[in-house]
Structure 1
Amino acid sequence: MGEGSEGAGTTGGYGRRRACAVAATGALATLALALGVAYGPELWGFFADGDAVRAWADAQGPLAPVAMGALVVAQIVIAVLPGEPVELAAGYLFGFWEGTAVCLAGGMVGTLVVTVLVRALGMRVVRAFFSAEQLEGVSWLRDSARFELLMFVVFLIPGTPKDVLTYVAGLTSCRWWRIAAIATVGRIPSVVTSTLAAGFASRGDWVAAGATLAATLALVGAGAAAYAAVRRREAARQGRPR
Protein backbone atom coordinates (compact mmCIF):
# COMPACT_ATOMS: atom_id res chain seq x y z
CA MET A 1 0.00 0.00 0.00
CA GLY A 2 2.78 2.38 0.98
CA GLU A 3 4.81 1.54 -2.12
CA GLY A 4 1.81 2.02 -4.37
CA SER A 5 1.06 5.36 -2.78
CA GLU A 6 4.67 6.41 -3.18
CA GLY A 7 4.65 5.40 -6.86
CA ALA A 8 1.43 7.27 -7.44
CA GLY A 9 2.89 10.33 -5.74
CA THR A 10 6.01 10.16 -7.90
CA THR A 11 3.93 9.81 -11.05
CA GLY A 12 1.71 12.67 -9.97
CA GLY A 13 4.72 14.85 -9.21
CA TYR A 14 6.20 14.15 -12.63
CA GLY A 15 2.87 14.96 -14.26
CA ARG A 16 2.65 18.27 -12.41
CA ARG A 17 6.22 19.21 -13.34
CA ARG A 18 5.57 18.35 -16.97
CA ALA A 19 2.34 20.37 -16.94
CA CYS A 20 4.17 23.33 -15.39
CA ALA A 21 6.92 23.10 -18.01
CA VAL A 22 4.39 22.99 -20.83
CA ALA A 23 2.43 25.89 -19.31
CA ALA A 24 5.59 27.99 -18.88
CA THR A 25 6.71 27.27 -22.44
CA GLY A 26 3.24 28.07 -23.74
CA ALA A 27 3.19 31.35 -21.82
CA LEU A 28 6.58 32.37 -23.18
CA ALA A 29 5.57 31.40 -26.70
CA THR A 30 2.29 33.31 -26.36
CA LEU A 31 4.25 36.36 -25.23
CA ALA A 32 6.58 35.97 -28.21
CA LEU A 33 3.60 35.70 -30.56
CA ALA A 34 1.98 38.78 -29.03
CA LEU A 35 5.21 40.74 -29.42
CA GLY A 36 5.47 39.50 -32.98
CA VAL A 37 1.98 40.75 -33.79
CA ALA A 38 2.42 44.08 -32.00
CA TYR A 39 5.92 44.86 -33.25
CA GLY A 40 6.08 42.75 -36.40
CA PRO A 41 7.54 45.32 -38.82
CA GLU A 42 10.03 46.61 -36.24
CA LEU A 43 11.13 43.08 -35.34
CA TRP A 44 11.53 42.14 -38.99
CA GLY A 45 13.58 45.25 -39.65
CA PHE A 46 15.79 44.54 -36.65
CA PHE A 47 16.41 40.86 -37.43
CA ALA A 48 17.04 41.64 -41.10
CA ASP A 49 19.73 44.18 -40.18
CA GLY A 50 22.88 42.28 -39.27
CA ASP A 51 24.64 45.45 -38.10
CA ALA A 52 21.78 46.28 -35.73
CA VAL A 53 21.74 42.74 -34.35
CA ARG A 54 25.49 42.79 -33.79
CA ALA A 55 25.43 46.22 -32.14
CA TRP A 56 22.60 45.24 -29.79
CA ALA A 57 24.26 42.00 -28.72
CA ASP A 58 27.65 43.68 -28.30
CA ALA A 59 26.05 46.32 -26.06
CA GLN A 60 25.10 43.57 -23.58
CA GLY A 61 28.75 43.27 -22.52
CA PRO A 62 29.63 39.95 -20.83
CA LEU A 63 26.14 38.68 -21.59
CA ALA A 64 26.56 39.23 -25.33
CA PRO A 65 26.73 35.47 -26.16
CA VAL A 66 23.57 34.83 -24.13
CA ALA A 67 21.83 37.76 -25.83
CA MET A 68 22.79 36.47 -29.27
CA GLY A 69 21.62 32.99 -28.36
CA ALA A 70 18.29 34.45 -27.24
CA LEU A 71 17.93 36.10 -30.66
CA VAL A 72 18.50 32.73 -32.33
CA VAL A 73 15.79 31.20 -30.13
CA ALA A 74 13.39 34.05 -30.94
CA GLN A 75 14.04 33.68 -34.67
CA ILE A 76 13.21 29.98 -34.60
CA VAL A 77 10.09 30.39 -32.45
CA ILE A 78 8.83 33.41 -34.43
CA ALA A 79 9.48 31.56 -37.65
CA VAL A 80 8.72 34.45 -40.01
CA LEU A 81 11.82 36.33 -38.84
CA PRO A 82 14.99 35.98 -40.96
CA GLY A 83 17.78 33.89 -39.46
CA GLU A 84 20.74 34.42 -41.77
CA PRO A 85 21.59 37.96 -40.53
CA VAL A 86 21.67 36.67 -36.94
CA GLU A 87 24.11 33.88 -37.84
CA LEU A 88 26.31 36.32 -39.75
CA ALA A 89 26.23 38.75 -36.82
CA ALA A 90 27.24 35.94 -34.43
CA GLY A 91 30.18 34.96 -36.61
CA TYR A 92 31.30 38.57 -37.02
CA LEU A 93 31.03 39.40 -33.32
CA PHE A 94 32.36 36.21 -31.75
CA GLY A 95 34.38 34.58 -34.51
CA PHE A 96 33.86 31.19 -36.10
CA TRP A 97 34.08 28.81 -33.13
CA GLU A 98 32.16 30.79 -30.52
CA GLY A 99 29.68 32.13 -33.06
CA THR A 100 28.93 28.60 -34.26
CA ALA A 101 28.51 27.34 -30.69
CA VAL A 102 26.13 30.20 -29.83
CA CYS A 103 24.00 29.60 -32.93
CA LEU A 104 23.79 25.84 -32.42
CA ALA A 105 22.95 26.20 -28.71
CA GLY A 106 20.25 28.74 -29.52
CA GLY A 107 18.99 26.50 -32.30
CA MET A 108 18.64 23.55 -29.93
CA VAL A 109 16.73 25.60 -27.35
CA GLY A 110 14.53 27.12 -30.04
CA THR A 111 13.73 23.68 -31.46
CA LEU A 112 12.79 22.36 -28.01
CA VAL A 113 10.50 25.36 -27.41
CA VAL A 114 8.81 24.88 -30.77
CA THR A 115 8.34 21.14 -30.17
CA VAL A 116 6.72 21.68 -26.76
CA LEU A 117 4.61 24.51 -28.14
CA VAL A 118 3.31 22.48 -31.09
CA ARG A 119 2.53 19.48 -28.93
CA ALA A 120 0.67 21.65 -26.44
CA LEU A 121 -1.31 23.74 -28.95
CA GLY A 122 -1.32 21.60 -32.11
CA MET A 123 -2.05 22.89 -35.59
CA ARG A 124 -3.33 26.23 -34.30
CA VAL A 125 0.18 27.51 -33.64
CA VAL A 126 1.56 25.99 -36.85
CA ARG A 127 -1.08 27.75 -38.94
CA ALA A 128 -0.22 31.01 -37.18
CA PHE A 129 3.11 31.09 -39.02
CA PHE A 130 2.68 29.03 -42.18
CA SER A 131 0.22 29.00 -45.04
CA ALA A 132 -1.65 25.91 -46.20
CA GLU A 133 0.61 25.83 -49.27
CA GLN A 134 3.75 25.80 -47.14
CA LEU A 135 2.41 22.97 -44.98
CA GLU A 136 1.32 20.99 -48.00
CA GLY A 137 4.82 21.44 -49.41
CA VAL A 138 6.32 19.39 -46.57
CA SER A 139 3.43 16.98 -45.95
CA TRP A 140 5.34 14.30 -47.89
CA LEU A 141 8.02 14.45 -45.20
CA ARG A 142 5.67 14.34 -42.22
CA ASP A 143 3.85 11.31 -43.62
CA SER A 144 6.98 9.36 -44.55
CA ALA A 145 7.83 6.12 -42.78
CA ARG A 146 11.46 7.31 -42.96
CA PHE A 147 10.70 10.66 -41.34
CA GLU A 148 13.77 10.92 -39.10
CA LEU A 149 16.26 10.02 -41.83
CA LEU A 150 14.65 12.34 -44.35
CA MET A 151 14.41 15.18 -41.84
CA PHE A 152 18.12 14.84 -41.13
CA VAL A 153 19.00 14.82 -44.83
CA VAL A 154 16.79 17.84 -45.53
CA PHE A 155 18.26 19.77 -42.60
CA LEU A 156 21.77 19.07 -43.88
CA ILE A 157 20.96 20.65 -47.24
CA PRO A 158 21.53 24.44 -47.24
CA GLY A 159 18.59 26.52 -48.34
CA THR A 160 15.81 24.10 -47.38
CA PRO A 161 12.72 25.28 -45.41
CA LYS A 162 14.07 24.46 -41.93
CA ASP A 163 11.63 26.70 -40.02
CA VAL A 164 8.52 24.96 -41.30
CA LEU A 165 10.16 21.55 -40.85
CA THR A 166 10.90 22.36 -37.21
CA TYR A 167 7.22 23.08 -36.60
CA VAL A 168 5.98 20.13 -38.63
CA ALA A 169 8.30 17.77 -36.73
CA GLY A 170 6.38 18.60 -33.57
CA LEU A 171 3.24 17.17 -35.17
CA THR A 172 4.82 13.74 -35.55
CA SER A 173 5.35 11.00 -32.97
CA CYS A 174 9.13 11.48 -33.08
CA ARG A 175 10.58 11.89 -29.57
CA TRP A 176 11.35 15.49 -28.59
CA TRP A 177 15.02 14.84 -27.90
CA ARG A 178 15.47 13.18 -31.29
CA ILE A 179 13.89 16.17 -33.04
CA ALA A 180 16.26 18.51 -31.17
CA ALA A 181 19.29 16.34 -32.00
CA ILE A 182 18.40 15.99 -35.69
CA ALA A 183 17.69 19.70 -36.11
CA THR A 184 20.82 20.81 -34.24
CA VAL A 185 23.25 18.51 -36.04
CA GLY A 186 21.50 19.12 -39.34
CA ARG A 187 21.91 22.89 -38.97
CA ILE A 188 25.70 22.64 -38.70
CA PRO A 189 26.53 23.10 -42.44
CA SER A 190 24.27 26.16 -42.77
CA VAL A 191 25.53 27.76 -39.56
CA VAL A 192 29.18 27.02 -40.31
CA THR A 193 29.11 28.66 -43.74
CA SER A 194 27.57 31.83 -42.25
CA THR A 195 29.82 32.15 -39.19
CA LEU A 196 32.93 31.24 -41.17
CA ALA A 197 32.29 33.93 -43.79
CA ALA A 198 31.46 36.52 -41.14
CA GLY A 199 34.52 35.54 -39.09
CA PHE A 200 36.77 36.13 -42.09
CA ALA A 201 35.07 39.49 -42.70
CA SER A 202 35.60 40.56 -39.09
CA ARG A 203 39.36 40.05 -39.56
CA GLY A 204 39.36 41.95 -42.84
CA ASP A 205 40.06 38.84 -44.93
CA TRP A 206 37.60 39.75 -47.66
CA VAL A 207 38.99 37.28 -50.18
CA ALA A 208 38.31 34.33 -47.87
CA ALA A 209 34.94 35.80 -46.91
CA GLY A 210 33.97 36.21 -50.57
CA ALA A 211 35.13 32.71 -51.42
CA THR A 212 33.09 31.29 -48.53
CA LEU A 213 29.99 33.19 -49.61
CA ALA A 214 30.45 32.02 -53.21
CA ALA A 215 30.77 28.44 -52.02
CA THR A 216 27.67 28.92 -49.88
CA LEU A 217 25.64 30.16 -52.85
CA ALA A 218 26.80 27.16 -54.87
CA LEU A 219 25.76 24.84 -52.04
CA VAL A 220 22.36 26.52 -51.81
CA GLY A 221 21.82 26.02 -55.54
CA ALA A 222 22.90 22.39 -55.36
CA GLY A 223 20.87 21.94 -52.20
CA ALA A 224 17.71 23.23 -53.85
CA ALA A 225 18.14 20.70 -56.65
CA ALA A 226 18.86 17.90 -54.16
CA TYR A 227 15.82 18.83 -52.06
CA ALA A 228 13.58 18.78 -55.13
CA ALA A 229 14.97 15.35 -56.08
CA VAL A 230 14.43 13.93 -52.57
CA ARG A 231 10.91 15.34 -52.51
CA ARG A 232 10.02 13.86 -55.91
CA ARG A 233 11.42 10.44 -54.98
CA GLU A 234 9.61 10.29 -51.65
CA ALA A 235 6.36 11.56 -53.21
CA ALA A 236 6.61 8.76 -55.76
CA ARG A 237 7.10 6.21 -52.97
CA GLN A 238 3.97 7.50 -51.25
CA GLY A 239 1.95 7.64 -54.45
CA ARG A 240 1.51 11.41 -54.20
CA PRO A 241 1.27 13.80 -57.17
CA ARG A 242 4.63 15.49 -57.77
Structure 2
Amino acid sequence: MPTYSRFLKEILSGKRDCDVKKMINLTENCSAIILNQMPPKLKDRGSFSIPCAIKTLEIGNALCDLGASVSLMPYSVFTKLEIGDLVPTNITLQLADRSVKYPIGKVEDVPLRVGKFIIPVDFVVLDIDEDAHVPIILGRSFFATAGAIIDVKQGVITLKVGNDSLTFDLTNTMHYPSSPSENCFFVDSLDPLVHDMHEHLLISNDPLDLAILNREGLGNLGVEVAKYKEQ
Protein backbone atom coordinates (compact mmCIF):
# COMPACT_ATOMS: atom_id res chain seq x y z
CA MET A 1 0.00 0.00 0.00
CA PRO A 2 1.43 3.39 -0.89
CA THR A 3 2.57 5.48 2.04
CA TYR A 4 -0.03 8.18 1.45
CA SER A 5 -2.89 5.66 1.29
CA ARG A 6 -1.74 3.95 4.49
CA PHE A 7 -1.45 7.33 6.23
CA LEU A 8 -4.95 8.31 5.15
CA LYS A 9 -6.38 4.93 6.26
CA GLU A 10 -4.81 5.25 9.71
CA ILE A 11 -6.32 8.70 10.14
CA LEU A 12 -9.79 7.51 9.13
CA SER A 13 -9.57 4.45 11.38
CA GLY A 14 -8.40 6.51 14.34
CA LYS A 15 -5.02 4.80 14.64
CA ARG A 16 -3.19 8.06 13.94
CA ASP A 17 -3.96 11.51 15.34
CA CYS A 18 -4.22 14.34 12.90
CA ASP A 19 -2.26 17.17 14.47
CA VAL A 20 -3.72 19.98 12.40
CA LYS A 21 -3.90 23.46 13.92
CA LYS A 22 -6.92 25.59 13.16
CA MET A 23 -6.98 29.38 13.03
CA ILE A 24 -9.84 30.92 15.04
CA ASN A 25 -10.60 34.61 14.77
CA LEU A 26 -11.45 36.18 18.12
CA THR A 27 -13.61 39.23 18.66
CA GLU A 28 -12.13 42.51 19.85
CA ASN A 29 -13.49 41.97 23.38
CA CYS A 30 -11.89 38.52 23.68
CA SER A 31 -8.60 39.81 22.31
CA ALA A 32 -8.57 42.69 24.80
CA ILE A 33 -9.17 40.31 27.73
CA ILE A 34 -6.51 37.79 26.63
CA LEU A 35 -3.92 40.47 25.92
CA ASN A 36 -4.82 42.28 29.15
CA GLN A 37 -5.42 45.52 27.30
CA MET A 38 -8.52 46.57 29.26
CA PRO A 39 -8.02 49.83 31.19
CA PRO A 40 -7.98 49.69 34.99
CA LYS A 41 -11.16 50.76 36.76
CA LEU A 42 -10.99 54.17 38.40
CA LYS A 43 -13.02 55.65 41.25
CA ASP A 44 -15.56 58.41 40.92
CA ARG A 45 -13.76 61.74 41.18
CA GLY A 46 -16.90 63.50 42.34
CA SER A 47 -18.23 66.79 41.03
CA PHE A 48 -16.02 69.38 39.40
CA SER A 49 -15.75 72.99 40.49
CA ILE A 50 -13.60 75.92 39.45
CA PRO A 51 -12.74 79.26 41.09
CA CYS A 52 -14.14 82.38 39.46
CA ALA A 53 -15.33 85.88 40.24
CA ILE A 54 -18.15 88.25 39.32
CA LYS A 55 -17.24 91.90 39.90
CA THR A 56 -15.85 91.96 43.47
CA LEU A 57 -17.46 88.66 44.55
CA GLU A 58 -14.86 85.89 44.68
CA ILE A 59 -16.39 82.44 44.18
CA GLY A 60 -14.10 79.66 45.30
CA ASN A 61 -16.25 76.82 43.98
CA ALA A 62 -18.55 77.25 41.00
CA LEU A 63 -20.12 73.87 40.34
CA CYS A 64 -19.47 72.54 36.83
CA ASP A 65 -22.64 70.66 35.95
CA LEU A 66 -22.67 69.07 32.50
CA GLY A 67 -26.21 67.88 33.21
CA ALA A 68 -27.52 71.45 33.47
CA SER A 69 -28.67 73.12 30.29
CA VAL A 70 -28.52 76.57 31.93
CA SER A 71 -26.34 78.35 34.48
CA LEU A 72 -28.07 79.05 37.80
CA MET A 73 -27.74 81.84 40.36
CA PRO A 74 -29.69 82.33 43.62
CA TYR A 75 -31.66 85.54 43.91
CA SER A 76 -29.68 86.55 47.01
CA VAL A 77 -26.44 86.46 45.00
CA PHE A 78 -28.06 88.47 42.22
CA THR A 79 -29.09 91.24 44.63
CA LYS A 80 -25.56 91.42 46.08
CA LEU A 81 -23.93 91.82 42.70
CA GLU A 82 -26.20 94.55 41.29
CA ILE A 83 -25.49 93.43 37.74
CA GLY A 84 -28.55 94.82 36.00
CA ASP A 85 -32.24 94.13 35.64
CA LEU A 86 -33.84 90.73 35.35
CA VAL A 87 -35.25 89.73 32.00
CA PRO A 88 -38.57 87.82 32.10
CA THR A 89 -38.33 84.19 31.05
CA ASN A 90 -40.80 81.36 30.51
CA ILE A 91 -38.25 78.66 31.36
CA THR A 92 -39.43 75.85 33.64
CA LEU A 93 -36.70 73.95 35.47
CA GLN A 94 -36.92 70.35 36.65
CA LEU A 95 -34.42 69.62 39.42
CA ALA A 96 -32.70 66.36 40.24
CA ASP A 97 -35.43 65.45 42.76
CA ARG A 98 -38.06 65.85 39.97
CA SER A 99 -39.44 69.00 41.55
CA VAL A 100 -40.35 71.87 39.23
CA LYS A 101 -39.10 75.42 39.79
CA TYR A 102 -40.10 78.63 38.08
CA PRO A 103 -37.28 81.20 37.78
CA ILE A 104 -37.74 84.82 38.76
CA GLY A 105 -36.01 85.80 35.54
CA LYS A 106 -32.63 85.72 33.87
CA VAL A 107 -29.69 88.08 33.63
CA GLU A 108 -27.67 88.12 30.42
CA ASP A 109 -24.02 88.66 29.54
CA VAL A 110 -22.70 88.59 33.10
CA PRO A 111 -18.89 89.02 32.93
CA LEU A 112 -17.53 85.95 34.72
CA ARG A 113 -13.81 86.17 35.47
CA VAL A 114 -12.05 82.81 35.34
CA GLY A 115 -8.31 83.24 35.74
CA LYS A 116 -7.19 85.53 32.92
CA PHE A 117 -10.40 85.09 30.95
CA ILE A 118 -13.58 87.16 31.02
CA ILE A 119 -16.45 84.97 29.79
CA PRO A 120 -20.01 86.27 29.25
CA VAL A 121 -22.58 84.02 30.92
CA ASP A 122 -26.39 84.07 30.95
CA PHE A 123 -27.70 83.14 34.41
CA VAL A 124 -31.18 81.95 35.29
CA VAL A 125 -32.10 83.43 38.68
CA LEU A 126 -33.99 81.25 41.17
CA ASP A 127 -35.48 82.17 44.52
CA ILE A 128 -33.59 79.48 46.45
CA ASP A 129 -31.33 79.45 49.48
CA GLU A 130 -27.75 80.40 48.74
CA ASP A 131 -25.24 77.62 49.28
CA ALA A 132 -22.25 78.99 51.17
CA HIS A 133 -19.84 76.59 49.48
CA VAL A 134 -21.30 76.46 45.95
CA PRO A 135 -23.12 79.75 45.29
CA ILE A 136 -23.58 79.32 41.51
CA ILE A 137 -23.89 76.50 38.98
CA LEU A 138 -22.30 76.64 35.54
CA GLY A 139 -24.13 74.75 32.80
CA ARG A 140 -23.24 73.42 29.37
CA SER A 141 -23.59 76.78 27.64
CA PHE A 142 -20.71 78.14 29.73
CA PHE A 143 -18.45 75.24 28.78
CA ALA A 144 -19.29 75.69 25.11
CA THR A 145 -18.45 79.41 25.29
CA ALA A 146 -15.22 78.78 27.21
CA GLY A 147 -14.13 75.94 24.91
CA ALA A 148 -13.85 73.61 27.91
CA ILE A 149 -12.13 70.24 27.61
CA ILE A 150 -12.63 68.00 30.64
CA ASP A 151 -10.28 65.07 31.18
CA VAL A 152 -11.99 63.00 33.86
CA LYS A 153 -9.20 60.42 34.00
CA GLN A 154 -6.48 62.98 34.65
CA GLY A 155 -8.79 65.18 36.71
CA VAL A 156 -8.16 68.40 34.80
CA ILE A 157 -10.31 70.91 32.94
CA THR A 158 -8.86 73.14 30.24
CA LEU A 159 -10.51 76.34 29.06
CA LYS A 160 -9.47 77.62 25.65
CA VAL A 161 -10.34 81.10 24.41
CA GLY A 162 -8.68 82.08 21.17
CA ASN A 163 -5.04 81.01 21.29
CA ASP A 164 -4.86 81.09 25.09
CA SER A 165 -5.65 78.21 27.41
CA LEU A 166 -6.05 77.76 31.14
CA THR A 167 -5.92 74.44 33.00
CA PHE A 168 -7.37 73.64 36.43
CA ASP A 169 -6.50 70.64 38.57
CA LEU A 170 -9.76 69.12 39.80
CA THR A 171 -8.25 66.39 41.96
CA ASN A 172 -9.06 67.95 45.31
CA THR A 173 -12.27 69.82 44.52
CA MET A 174 -15.76 69.03 45.76
CA HIS A 175 -15.08 65.88 47.78
CA TYR A 176 -17.39 66.88 50.63
CA PRO A 177 -20.92 68.28 51.05
CA SER A 178 -21.45 71.97 51.66
CA SER A 179 -22.97 71.39 55.10
CA PRO A 180 -23.17 68.48 57.59
CA SER A 181 -26.95 68.33 57.17
CA GLU A 182 -26.49 67.21 53.56
CA ASN A 183 -24.90 63.89 54.50
CA CYS A 184 -27.01 60.94 53.34
CA PHE A 185 -26.57 57.85 55.50
CA PHE A 186 -29.52 55.68 54.49
CA VAL A 187 -32.15 55.65 51.79
CA ASP A 188 -35.21 53.40 51.87
CA SER A 189 -38.60 53.25 50.22
CA LEU A 190 -41.20 55.02 52.33
CA ASP A 191 -44.20 53.71 50.40
CA PRO A 192 -44.78 50.57 52.56
CA LEU A 193 -44.45 52.62 55.76
CA VAL A 194 -46.88 55.26 54.54
CA HIS A 195 -49.34 52.55 53.45
CA ASP A 196 -49.17 50.82 56.84
CA MET A 197 -49.74 54.09 58.70
CA HIS A 198 -52.65 54.95 56.42
CA GLU A 199 -54.28 51.55 57.07
CA HIS A 200 -53.78 52.04 60.81
CA LEU A 201 -55.55 55.39 60.71
CA LEU A 202 -58.40 53.97 58.64
CA ILE A 203 -59.24 51.28 61.20
CA SER A 204 -58.44 53.31 64.29
CA ASN A 205 -61.22 54.62 66.57
CA ASP A 206 -58.88 56.92 68.47
CA PRO A 207 -60.25 60.51 68.29
CA LEU A 208 -56.77 61.97 67.71
CA ASP A 209 -56.12 59.58 64.80
CA LEU A 210 -59.48 60.52 63.32
CA ALA A 211 -58.68 64.20 63.71
CA ILE A 212 -55.31 63.74 61.96
CA LEU A 213 -56.90 61.78 59.14
CA ASN A 214 -59.80 64.29 59.06
CA ARG A 215 -62.21 61.50 58.17
CA GLU A 216 -65.18 63.20 59.79
CA GLY A 217 -64.64 66.55 58.08
CA LEU A 218 -63.18 69.82 59.22
CA GLY A 219 -66.39 70.81 60.98
CA ASN A 220 -66.00 68.01 63.55
CA LEU A 221 -62.31 68.62 64.26
CA GLY A 222 -62.97 70.48 67.51
CA VAL A 223 -65.35 67.74 68.71
CA GLU A 224 -62.77 65.03 68.08
CA VAL A 225 -60.07 66.95 69.97
CA ALA A 226 -62.48 67.55 72.86
CA LYS A 227 -63.24 63.81 73.04
CA TYR A 228 -59.53 63.06 73.14
CA LYS A 229 -59.02 65.49 76.05
CA GLU A 230 -61.83 63.79 78.03
CA GLN A 231 -60.04 60.42 77.85
TM-score, normalization: structure 1? Answer: 0.19
Higher helix share: 1
Computing the radius of gyration from Cα coordinates, the structure with the larger value is 2
Higher percent of residues as strand:
2
Taking structure 2 as the reference length, the TM-score comes to 0.20
